[in-house]
Structure 1
Amino acid sequence: MGKTASKLSKDEISSLKKSTYFDKRELQQWYKGFLRDCPSGQLTNAEFLKIYKQFFPFGDPTDFANYIFNVFDKDKNGSIDFKEFIIVLSITSRGSKNEKLEWSYKLYDQNRDDKIDYQEMLNVLVAIYKMVGPMVRLNNDEATPELRAKKIFGLVNKDVNDMLDMDDFKVICEKDNQVLRGLDLYGGLV
C-alpha cells in the first residue's frame, strides 16, 4: 500500500473490506482523503503530530501522539500507510469492545512484552496530562499522573511493583471507562 495510485485496486478493496468494518465506498473516500493529506501515501510522525496539535491546541500532544503513532505503525518503518491507518481507524471507531481493549492495551504496553508495568502506565498518563493541559479539571485522587496510575493499579489490587496483564486491563476498563476514552477521538471522524 505504499504506492500512490489515485484509486485502490479491486484486490486492495477486497482485502481491506475483510480487514475493516468499512464498505467499498467508505474505503475509497478515506483513501482519497488520505492521499489528499499525504500525497506520498505515507503519514510521517511529524504529520501525525501536526494533526494531534489541531485537536489539542492548549496542551502538548507530542508524547501522546508518538505513542499512538507507534501503535499505528505496525510494520515499524517510521510511517503509516493507508492500510495501517484504515485498520486502526476501523478498530477504534467501529470495532468490538474487545478489539478496542486489545488496541488500547498495545498503547500502554510500550515494550511489547504483553505486560504493563507502572512506568509504562505512568509514561502514557504523563503524556495524556500534558496533552489536555489545563483544560480538564480532575478529582484530587487523580490530580497528577502518579496518583492516577496508582489508582488504576489499585482497581485490580496491585501496587506499583506489579505488572498488569490483559485480564487485569479488562477489569480496569470495566471499573473505569476513562482508560479507553481516548479512543473516542476517532469515533467523531467516522
Structure 2
Amino acid sequence: ADSGDADVELPTIRHQPEGLEQLLARTKFTKSELQSLYRGFKNVSLGVRHPKSLGPHFLRGHRRRSPSQECPSGLVDEETFTLIYSRFFPQGDASSYAHFLFDAFDADRNGALCFQDFAVGLSVLLRGTEQQKLRWTFDLYDVNKDGYISKEDMLEIMKSIYAMMGRCTEPALGASAPAQHVELFFQKMDRNRDGVVTFEEFLATCQE
C-alpha cells in the first residue's frame, strides 16, 4: 500500500454511518483496497474527467489528489454516475441502463450513492459467491423492486441495453428485438408459467 493510505480515514466521511472496520467486515476488500477505492470515489463525486475512476481498476491503486479535488460529502448523485458510466458507451445511449445500475447500488434508496453502497456492491460483483452475484443481478432486473421480474421489468432492461449498445449491434436489430429477447428469457426462466420470475426460478435456471 502507498504511504498515503494511513491518512485516509473512512470514519471522517460525512453521511457515513460505517467506518473502516465495519466495511472490512461487510466486504471482501483489504484495508488498503478500501482506502484506494475511497480516494477515487471522492474524486468521482466531484466530477473528475476520467471515467475509469469508477471501477475495478481502483484496486490497483489510485494516486492521491489535492484536498481541493476531494469530495466534501462523499456522495455521488445519479446525474454524475450516469455521466461517467455513459462515457464507456459513446456509441449509444447508456442513460437508462445507468439509471438501473444506480438503483442497484443505491441500497438505501435515498437517491445518492454513498461510499458504503458502492464498496459493498462492488465487493459482491468482483468477489461475491455465485449466489450473491445472481442475487445482485436479479435485484437489478427487478425494476420496481417488488421481489419478482415481470415482463415489463425485463422489457425496460432490454430496451436500455439495446440503446446502450447502439450501433455496435451486428447485424442491426429491429425495434422488436428487445421484446423477442424478453420472450426467450421468460421461456427459459418462468418455470411455472405464472408470468413472473422469482429469485428461486432465476437461481435454479442460472445454476443449471
Q: C-alpha distance in 2, partners of 1:9/1:48?
A: 23
Deviation (angstroms), 1:164:
0.5
Deviation (angstroms), 1:161:
6.3
Q: C-alpha distance in 1, partners of 2:24/2:108?
A: 20
Q: C-alpha distance in 2, partners of 1:163/1:138?
A: 30
AA at the equivalent of 2:36 = Q
Deviation (angstroms), 1:171:
3.6
Q: Which moved more, 1:162-171 or 1:9-18?
A: 9-18
Q: C-alpha distance in 1, partners of 2:81/2:29?
A: 22
* 2:79 equivalent to 1:46: yes
Q: C-alpha distance in 1, partners of 2:110/2:186?
A: 33
* 2:156 equivalent to 1:126: no
AA at the equivalent of 1:149 = V
Q: TM-score, structure 2 length as denominator?
A: 0.74
Deviation digits for residues 109-156 of structure 1 (CA, Å, limit 9, x no counterpart): 12222111111011111101101112133698xx71111110011114
Counterpart in 2 of 1:19? 26
Q: Which runs of 5+ in 2 are unaligned?
A: 1-6, 13-17, 46-70
Deviation (angstroms), 1:168:
1.6
Q: CA RMSD in A?
A: 2.7
Deviation digits for residues 4-63 of structure 1 (CA, Å, limit 9, x no counterpart): x95214971110011101010100110111112221311010110011111111010111
1:20-169 correspondence to structure 2 within 5 Å: 20-38=27-45, 39=71, 40-137=73-170, 144-156=177-189, 162-169=195-202
Which structure dedicates a bigger proportion of its chain to helix? Answer: 1
Identity of aligned residues (%): 31
Task: Flag the 1:6–1:126 CA change in 2: closer, same or farther, 3 A.
Answer: same
> If you compute each CA radius of gyration, which structure gives the higher value, 1 or 2?
2
Q: Identify which of 7, 10, 14 aligns with 2:9.
A: 7
Q: Which moved more, 1:163-172 or 1:9-18?
A: 9-18
* 2:206 equivalent to 1:173: yes
Q: Which moved more, 1:5-14 or 1:164-173?
A: 5-14
Q: TM-score, structure 1 length as denominator?
A: 0.81
Q: Runs of 4+ in structure 1 displaced over 6 angstroms?
A: none
